[in-house]
Amino acid sequence: MSKVFFGFALADSMFLGDVTIKRQSLTPEEACEVIKAGIVSCLNPSHQATIQAAKERYGIEVDIPQAPPQVQLGAGDSLVVMGVRGLPRLTDRHEYTSEEVAKAIFLFSKYTVK
């Protein structure tokens, strides 16, 4: 059975052997539907503020495991990547303001192994 993972980045080490990958841009609404259908979270605790921002903006709720799983994408598996531009680095606090979240640009892509 194929799996759908969710994370913030794509790494070469996620792919098993030589594969063909299809990349598809998703609207926030499409990404929400994929997430609601069930994903394996690849996030880590340092991503809490960004996930909270996505929840505030789009209602996206993703669990953050204590330790992210090792991702191994095989035929039929997918990875939904959420990229965010415009949020400042949190060096002296642990959350973003509503104004910062409103100005941020959220981009979603789905990578599927053929």
Please report the pLDDT score of residue 26 as a whole number.
98
Q: Is 97 exposed, middle or buried (CB count within 10 Å of its CB: 0-12, 13-18, 19+)?
A: exposed
pLDDT tens digits along 2-39: 999 999 999 999 998 899 999 999 999 999 999 999 99
pLDDT of 1 > 90? The answer is no
Task: Band the pLDDT of 93: cuts 50, 70, 90.
Answer: confident
For residue 36, the surrounding DSSP H or E stretch is: helix 28-37
Number of C-beta neighbours around residue 61 at 10 A: 12
Q: How far is it, in rounded angstroms, from Cα 108 to Cα 63?
A: 18
In the chain, where are the structural domains located? 4-113
| pTM of this structure | 0.91
Residue found by looking up tokens 């991702």 in the block: 71
Superfamily of domain 4-113: Uncharacterised protein PF08960, DUF1874 (3.40.50.11170)
pLDDT tens digits along 34-69: 999 999 999 988 889 999 999 999 999 999 999 888
